[in-house]
Amino acid sequence: GVTRRGGRFKMLIRRGNVEDLLSMQACNLMCLPENYQMKYYFYHILSWPQLLYVCEDFDGKIVGYVLAKMEEDAAEPHGHITSLAVLRSHRKLGIATRLMRASQADMQQIFGAEYVSLHVRRSNAAATHLYQTTLGFRVNDIEAKYYADNEDAYDMRYYFDKRLHGGKVQEDGSIDWSEREEAEVNKKESNNDKPEKDKKEEGDAEKSDAKKKKKKRR
């Protein structure tokens, strides 16, 4: 169960199914300004049924969900969080964290994802805190006017090998990129320490992989 003031509520985190889609859409409409037609939910559940999770409360009502997909044709296969929502009445119970971790685990274990990406509004401090502090995401980039109302988005990533690779949002809204800069310096030093033969073999392997991916996309 999940502890809450005034008692304990039984919360079930499980994979979503077709019968849950209307409830997921209703939850989305109540929680978020980014809304989707039903065919978009069907597209996700038919393509990546393993990555959709819902949270049921004690009477079977859907109170939260995560809608996710795979970007399998990208240079690095990775998962993407399309939408995450929890009803206001059930927030601060750890539901969003559990939904995210369930979907992320399947991205890695079933699809071999190297990382998971998502977008979040720059003004959404609560969501940014969840992704960055609780789940370990870092800012990869800022996408200007990403949303329909022209608000910018943080493009955030979490690498499953737990490497810190991006910027960290500060309390004043600025981004500290020191983790990324340090990682780039370490990578450069590591490459400089390798024998020339190893560098050549790695370069040849990267070219070969690039050719295979290009051929696959045709």
Quick one: pLDDT at residue 200? 61
Structure-block tokens of residue 151: 């608000």
Measured CA to CA, the distance from residue 130 to residue 142 in angstroms comes to: 18
* Spatial distance between the Cα atoms of 46 and 27, rounded to a whole number of angstroms: 20
| pLDDT for res 213 | 46
Mean pLDDT score across all residues of the chain: 87
pLDDT tens-place string over residues 180-198: 878 777 767 676 666 666 6
Report pLDDT for 199: 57
- pTM recorded for the entire structure: 0.80
pLDDT band of residue 98 (cuts 50, 70, 90) is: very high
Distance from C-alpha of 120 to C-alpha of 143, rounded to nearest angstrom: 10
Dihedral class, residue 7 (left if φ above 0, else alpha if ψ from -120 to 50, else beta):
left
What is the reported pLDDT for 180?
80
pLDDT band at 148 (very low <50, low <70, confident <90, very high): very high
Q: What is the pLDDT of residue 54?
A: 98
Sequence length of the chain is 218
